[in-house]
Structure 1
């Protein structure tokens, strides 16, 4: 009979999404004020801000960032392309970029490039163009950026670090040359006749600039640059190079292109009976957190990776806000941190 059988359960009423206007009514403020609080803009006094946040919590309000982006054309997201997260510099720079972006109300989309080849970089640039981003920060090797076939998304706001592409993009970088000059001057002032160089990988822009600055500093001081030995940024490569340098009795001072290679160098010199700093002085570059705990504590060039990341965000958001790309280079200063790994050369 009609009406027999189970009565179908009534479908629960669909909950109406909470709007900005609902929050404004509950908080007793304008929708514009809710918008400013939601987006983290300044200019709202603390009592009003807390009133709005309390209303958001009570109503379980979630700003619709996707709808806001479609309406404004702003995604409040920065894309970051980087070769590797295995090096100290890249990790600390990316961390600073993410922190600084968050403070400005921006998210970060990270695109690591597994292998530093033209095809991999082109693929990363292509993926970047498909993402909803407002700007890009590229931690990139100069040799790959110079390829004319590489192109960033049209009208993209871009900042590059670890590169000298200042004629094409805005560049933020550590003062590689100034830091190297200070390291070489320190060793020469101690009385060393010349300074040997444990260089980074040949393809690296930073290694290239440090090598050029080392050679120029010695020539300017009237000294003959010795033949360099090359590593790959790792402590193991520093150890292998150190075994070679330990056999050269005339080597009394070494400038290592980074602290990790300096660590391997210290081990090799110790194993070969060359005392640091009594027989050989060693200077590194980076001032990693552990540099003061090396044996002996390492004299090194301090570079501020955090400041590099912060300035990258500052420069790229300047382009976003003003709508125009920029060119040129911003250098972040370095400073020499003198510890126990350097001393005058042994008496002859």
Structure 2
């Protein structure tokens, strides 16, 4: 093995891999660029030689040659909520699998220029493309920039792609599950309406009800926290004495659903005997609550992979026709918090049965 002036073994080069595999340096380059016109046998020999020698591509040299940094930027909301964090983890894994690094800039809810400022910061770091994750309505689409942009869960706007839609379809499936069980008065505990995700989930709930000829009842808006779900449960448990009784609730995330179930239980109501509850996300705790929570499992990894796939294609082949976003996977996880409405026992808005 070659050595340097200090006697240390030098890192293997592509020429060393070519010599060991019995091919040209150009062929080694084609293999590592995943180019066509390389036979499976040659590709195998090159990769085996690289593994034996411990060869790694020089990322800095590759960036200089291509004019790209092989780094993607993410504008993410600075929050510990399960959904945004899970999506960010999926994005990092998908980017790494695609051979890209990741730079993340967090924004704060309520900062009107947060997204634009975060994008500018990422551009100053030389990213090849930008992902706007879990966006909040700031009164307009992200500003157009000189690199490809993908917006997850919201309209892309001028020059930007959109990815990760389908929350309305998932919410619709959750509501239809309750309708199919026989519930006709299904309340919704919504997320904060500045979030596009919260709007989509409420839209899916409304669509499911109206398509069955039902009038959607008033919505209770929470803030994604279990505490806001608990407060919503207290309101529902109190009810209006002359209101049509509520027998089921669809909450826009699992945290609010957990708080809701706790509040209903404290009020002497039984879930699902008196009130069925469905959440959204399928957090790790959902299968271990009392009762285990029926919920919609979000396909975070699939959304991340699809987002990175389309963004990388836009970066590497800007003139190529971009594929449509993947169809969302609707995965309803039915557990013990939902059941057909019972004529026995209590309904919200009436006195508990002794």
TM range, smaller chain? 0.7 to 0.9
2:99 corresponds, among 63, 81, 105, to 105
- DSSP-derived class of the 1:143 partner: coil
In structure 2, relative to structure 1, the CA distance for the partners of 1:27 and 1:322 (3 Å cut) is closer
SS at the partner of 1:121? helix
Partner of residue 121, structure 2 = 127
Instruction: State the structure with bigger RCO (CA 8 A, min sep 6), 1 or 2.
Output: 1
Partner of 2:49: 51
Inter-partner Cα distance in structure 2 for 1:87 and 1:263? 14
1:213 and 2:204 correspond: yes
State the partner residue of 2:347: none
Paired position in structure 2 for 1:269: 264
Inter-CA distance 305–18: structure 2 relative to 1 (3 Å threshold) = closer
1:226-265 equivalences in 2 (<5 Å): 226-248=217-239, 250-265=245-260
- The DSSP-based 3-state class of the residue aligned with 2:104 is strand
1:337 aligns with 2:337: no
Structure 1, residues 244-263: CA drift from partner, whole Å, max 9, x if none?
11112722110100111101
Task: State how far apart, in whole Å, the 1-side matches of 2:309 and 2:14 are.
Answer: 30
Q: TM-score, normalised by structure 1?
A: 0.85
Residue 193 of structure 2 corresponds to 202
Q: By how many angstroms is 1:134 displaced? A: 1.8
Say whether residues 1:304 and 2:289 are aligned partners: no
Gaps of at least 5 residues in structure 2 are 345-354
> Residue by residue, what CA displacement relative to the aligned partner does 1:42-83 show, whole Å, maximum 9, x if unpaired?
85543432223323x3xxx66432222111112222111111
The offset of 1:18, in angstroms, is 6.2
TM-score (structure 2 length as normaliser): 0.83
Aligned residues: 330
Return closer, same or farther for 1:62/1:339 CA change in 2, 3 Å cut-off.
closer
Q: Could you list the per-position Cα deviations for residues 94-123 of structure 1 after superposition, in whole angstroms to 9, with x for gaps in the alignment?
A: 222221222221111112223442222221
**Alpha carbon RMSD of aligned pairs, Å?**
2.7
Q: 3-state DSSP class of the match of 1:109?
A: strand
Partner of 2:314: 319
